[in-house]
Homo-oligomer: A and B are copies of this chain.
Protein backbone atom coordinates (compact mmCIF):
# COMPACT_ATOMS: atom_id res chain seq x y z
CA UNK A 1 0.00 0.00 0.00
CA UNK A 2 2.83 2.35 0.69
CA UNK A 3 4.84 1.26 -2.29
CA UNK A 4 1.90 2.03 -4.60
CA UNK A 5 2.03 5.60 -3.51
CA UNK A 6 5.75 5.90 -3.83
CA UNK A 7 5.85 4.24 -7.24
CA UNK A 8 3.34 6.54 -8.90
CA UNK A 9 4.46 9.74 -7.25
CA UNK A 10 2.69 12.86 -8.27
CA UNK A 11 4.93 15.30 -10.17
CA UNK A 12 4.71 17.59 -7.18
CA UNK A 13 6.32 15.17 -4.77
CA UNK A 14 8.80 14.12 -7.43
CA UNK A 15 9.84 17.73 -7.84
CA UNK A 16 9.98 18.09 -4.10
CA UNK A 17 12.19 15.06 -3.73
CA UNK A 18 14.43 16.43 -6.45
CA UNK A 19 14.95 19.66 -4.56
CA UNK A 20 15.48 17.73 -1.36
CA UNK A 21 18.10 15.61 -3.02
CA UNK A 22 19.76 18.71 -4.44
CA UNK A 23 20.00 20.16 -0.96
CA UNK A 24 21.43 16.93 0.40
CA UNK A 25 23.88 16.62 -2.47
CA UNK A 26 25.20 20.13 -2.02
CA UNK A 27 25.33 19.65 1.73
CA UNK A 28 27.18 16.37 1.27
CA UNK A 29 29.72 18.06 -1.00
CA UNK A 30 30.33 20.95 1.37
CA UNK A 31 30.42 18.77 4.47
CA UNK A 32 32.82 16.24 2.99
CA UNK A 33 35.23 19.02 2.07
CA UNK A 34 35.04 21.37 5.03
CA UNK A 35 33.21 19.56 7.77
CA UNK A 36 30.47 20.74 10.06
CA UNK A 37 31.82 24.25 10.46
CA UNK A 38 32.15 24.70 6.71
CA UNK A 39 28.54 23.76 6.06
CA UNK A 40 26.40 26.83 6.55
CA UNK A 41 22.73 27.05 5.72
CA UNK A 42 23.24 30.35 3.98
CA UNK A 43 26.12 29.20 1.82
CA UNK A 44 24.23 26.02 1.12
CA UNK A 45 21.19 28.00 0.00
CA UNK A 46 23.36 30.14 -2.24
CA UNK A 47 24.95 27.03 -3.72
CA UNK A 48 21.62 25.68 -4.91
CA UNK A 49 20.19 29.13 -5.71
CA UNK A 50 17.52 29.17 -3.06
CA UNK A 51 16.87 31.44 -0.12
CA UNK A 52 18.08 30.27 3.30
CA UNK A 53 14.56 29.98 4.60
CA UNK A 54 13.67 27.60 1.77
CA UNK A 55 15.90 24.97 3.36
CA UNK A 56 13.58 24.94 6.35
CA UNK A 57 10.71 23.71 4.18
CA UNK A 58 12.71 20.52 3.73
CA UNK A 59 14.63 20.17 6.97
CA UNK A 60 13.57 21.24 10.41
CA UNK A 61 17.02 22.43 11.38
CA UNK A 62 20.65 22.27 10.42
CA UNK A 63 21.13 19.54 12.97
CA UNK A 64 18.40 17.48 11.34
CA UNK A 65 20.07 17.84 7.96
CA UNK A 66 23.42 16.86 9.42
CA UNK A 67 21.81 13.90 11.11
CA UNK A 68 20.69 12.65 7.72
CA UNK A 69 24.16 13.01 6.28
CA UNK A 70 25.73 11.13 9.18
CA UNK A 71 23.08 8.41 9.21
CA UNK A 72 23.33 7.70 5.50
CA UNK A 73 27.09 7.57 5.81
CA UNK A 74 27.00 5.12 8.66
CA UNK A 75 24.55 2.99 6.71
CA UNK A 76 27.03 2.85 3.85
CA UNK A 77 29.72 1.95 6.34
CA UNK A 78 27.55 -0.80 7.76
CA UNK A 79 26.86 -2.09 4.23
CA UNK A 80 30.56 -2.39 3.52
CA UNK A 81 31.29 -4.33 6.68
CA UNK A 82 28.18 -6.46 6.27
CA UNK A 83 29.24 -7.40 2.74
CA UNK A 84 32.68 -8.43 3.96
CA UNK A 85 31.30 -10.39 6.89
CA UNK A 86 29.20 -12.47 4.47
CA UNK A 87 32.20 -13.38 2.33
CA UNK A 88 33.42 -16.93 1.93
CA UNK A 89 36.87 -16.06 3.21
CA UNK A 90 38.39 -18.20 5.90
CA UNK A 91 37.62 -17.01 9.38
CA UNK A 92 40.85 -15.25 10.20
CA UNK A 93 40.97 -13.25 6.99
CA UNK A 94 37.30 -12.45 7.22
CA UNK A 95 37.57 -11.20 10.79
CA UNK A 96 40.57 -9.06 9.93
CA UNK A 97 38.83 -7.79 6.80
CA UNK A 98 35.88 -6.63 8.88
CA UNK A 99 38.17 -4.43 10.92
CA UNK A 100 40.20 -3.12 7.99
CA UNK A 101 37.08 -2.41 5.95
CA UNK A 102 35.53 -0.55 8.85
CA UNK A 103 38.62 1.58 9.34
CA UNK A 104 39.20 2.25 5.65
CA UNK A 105 35.60 3.26 5.04
CA UNK A 106 35.70 5.49 8.08
CA UNK A 107 38.91 7.26 7.12
CA UNK A 108 37.75 7.68 3.51
CA UNK A 109 35.23 10.26 4.76
CA UNK A 110 36.90 11.66 7.86
CA UNK A 111 34.39 14.42 8.55
CA UNK A 112 31.49 12.04 8.26
CA UNK A 113 32.93 9.43 10.57
CA UNK A 114 34.08 11.92 13.16
CA UNK A 115 30.72 13.66 13.11
CA UNK A 116 28.90 10.37 13.52
CA UNK A 117 30.49 10.17 16.97
CA UNK A 118 30.66 13.84 17.84
CA UNK A 119 27.73 14.31 20.19
CA UNK A 120 28.39 14.11 23.91
CA UNK A 121 25.11 13.48 25.72
CA UNK A 122 24.34 15.52 28.79
CA UNK A 123 23.31 13.89 32.02
CA UNK A 124 19.65 14.59 31.26
CA UNK A 125 19.82 13.09 27.78
CA UNK A 126 21.56 10.11 29.27
CA UNK A 127 18.86 9.59 31.85
CA UNK A 128 16.21 9.86 29.17
CA UNK A 129 17.85 7.43 26.78
CA UNK A 130 18.55 4.92 29.51
CA UNK A 131 15.13 3.51 28.75
CA UNK A 132 16.29 2.34 25.34
CA UNK A 133 16.44 -1.40 25.31
CA UNK A 134 19.03 -3.72 23.89
CA UNK A 135 16.70 -4.60 21.02
CA UNK A 136 16.16 -0.94 20.19
CA UNK A 137 19.90 -0.51 19.95
CA UNK A 138 20.28 -3.51 17.68
CA UNK A 139 17.77 -1.90 15.32
CA UNK A 140 20.05 1.08 14.70
CA UNK A 141 22.87 0.96 12.15
CA UNK A 142 25.42 1.14 14.94
CA UNK A 143 23.63 -1.68 16.69
CA UNK A 144 23.73 -3.79 13.56
CA UNK A 145 27.41 -3.15 13.10
CA UNK A 146 27.86 -4.18 16.69
CA UNK A 147 25.84 -7.32 16.12
CA UNK A 148 28.19 -8.34 13.31
CA UNK A 149 31.05 -8.24 15.78
CA UNK A 150 29.18 -10.24 18.40
CA UNK A 151 28.39 -12.91 15.83
CA UNK A 152 32.00 -12.89 14.70
CA UNK A 153 33.25 -13.51 18.22
CA UNK A 154 30.80 -16.31 18.76
CA UNK A 155 31.76 -17.89 15.46
CA UNK A 156 35.41 -17.68 16.38
CA UNK A 157 34.69 -19.33 19.70
CA UNK A 158 32.69 -22.04 17.95
CA UNK A 159 35.65 -22.68 15.66
CA UNK A 160 37.94 -22.94 18.64
CA UNK A 161 40.20 -20.11 17.54
CA UNK A 162 38.89 -17.54 20.02
CA UNK A 163 39.11 -17.97 23.75
CA UNK A 164 35.82 -19.51 24.94
CA UNK A 165 36.16 -17.65 28.22
CA UNK A 166 35.51 -14.33 26.46
CA UNK A 167 32.09 -12.78 26.78
CA UNK A 168 30.96 -12.14 23.21
CA UNK A 169 29.22 -8.83 23.90
CA UNK A 170 32.04 -7.35 25.93
CA UNK A 171 34.57 -8.65 23.46
CA UNK A 172 32.68 -7.17 20.53
CA UNK A 173 32.78 -3.86 22.30
CA UNK A 174 36.50 -4.24 22.77
CA UNK A 175 37.02 -4.89 19.06
CA UNK A 176 34.81 -1.97 18.19
CA UNK A 177 36.78 0.29 20.50
CA UNK A 178 40.05 -0.76 18.93
CA UNK A 179 38.79 -0.21 15.39
CA UNK A 180 37.07 3.02 16.30
CA UNK A 181 40.22 4.29 17.91
CA UNK A 182 42.44 3.55 14.96
CA UNK A 183 40.00 5.21 12.57
CA UNK A 184 39.84 8.36 14.66
CA UNK A 185 43.57 8.40 15.30
CA UNK A 186 44.21 8.28 11.56
CA UNK A 187 41.62 10.99 11.00
CA UNK A 188 42.82 13.40 13.64
CA UNK A 189 46.54 12.62 13.57
CA UNK A 190 47.08 11.52 9.98
CA UNK A 191 50.83 12.02 9.97
CA UNK A 192 51.45 9.85 12.99
CA UNK A 193 52.24 6.76 10.91
CA UNK A 194 54.53 8.68 8.54
CA UNK A 195 56.48 10.27 11.32
CA UNK A 196 58.24 7.09 12.26
CA UNK A 197 61.59 6.07 10.83
CA UNK A 198 60.20 3.54 8.36
CA UNK A 199 58.76 5.73 5.59
CA UNK A 200 57.91 2.91 3.25
CA UNK A 201 54.89 1.95 5.29
CA UNK A 202 51.47 2.99 4.04
CA UNK A 203 48.32 3.55 6.02
CA UNK A 204 46.72 0.37 4.78
CA UNK A 205 49.64 -1.66 6.00
CA UNK A 206 49.26 -0.38 9.50
CA UNK A 207 45.52 -1.00 9.57
CA UNK A 208 46.24 -4.64 8.78
CA UNK A 209 48.94 -4.69 11.41
CA UNK A 210 46.55 -3.34 14.01
CA UNK A 211 43.75 -5.67 12.98
CA UNK A 212 46.14 -8.55 13.40
CA UNK A 213 47.08 -7.54 16.93
CA UNK A 214 43.43 -7.10 17.83
CA UNK A 215 42.62 -10.61 16.61
CA UNK A 216 45.58 -12.07 18.44
CA UNK A 217 44.16 -10.65 21.64
CA UNK A 218 41.15 -12.90 21.28
CA UNK A 219 43.02 -16.11 20.57
CA UNK A 220 43.08 -19.04 22.92
CA UNK A 221 45.80 -18.29 25.46
CA UNK A 222 49.08 -20.10 25.21
CA UNK A 223 48.67 -21.92 28.50
CA UNK A 224 45.24 -23.24 27.56
CA UNK A 225 44.59 -26.29 25.40
CA UNK A 226 43.09 -25.82 21.94
CA UNK A 227 39.65 -27.14 21.22
CA UNK A 228 39.84 -30.92 21.32
CA UNK A 229 43.58 -30.58 21.37
CA UNK A 230 46.08 -31.66 23.95
CA UNK A 231 48.73 -29.64 25.69
CA UNK A 232 52.38 -30.40 25.01
Contact = CB atoms under 8 A, between A and B. Distances in A.
Contacts of A184: 117, 180-181, 184
A187 interface: yes
A134 to B, nearest CB: 5
A171 B173 CA distance: 20
A177 B218 contact: no
Interface string A160-198: 000000110111011011111111110111111111111
A126 interface: yes
Interface string A204-232: 00100110011111111110000000000
B181 A132 contact: no
Contacts of A183: 181
Copies in the assembly, this chain: 2
Interface string A72-115: 00000000000000000000000000000000000000110010
Interface of A is mostly: helix
Most central of A118, A130, A174, A176 by chain B CB within 10 Å: A174
A7 interface: no
A167 B198 CA distance: 11
B178 A214 contact: yes
A195 B166 CA distance: 18
A77 to B, nearest CB: 15
Contacts of A188: 117-120
B177 A193 contact: no
A167 B200 CA distance: 14
A50 B179 CA distance: 46
Nearest to A134: B195
Interface of A: 35, 110-111, 114, 117-121, 126, 129-130, 132-134, 137, 142, 166-167, 169-171, 173-174, 176-185, 187-198, 201, 206, 209-210, 213-222
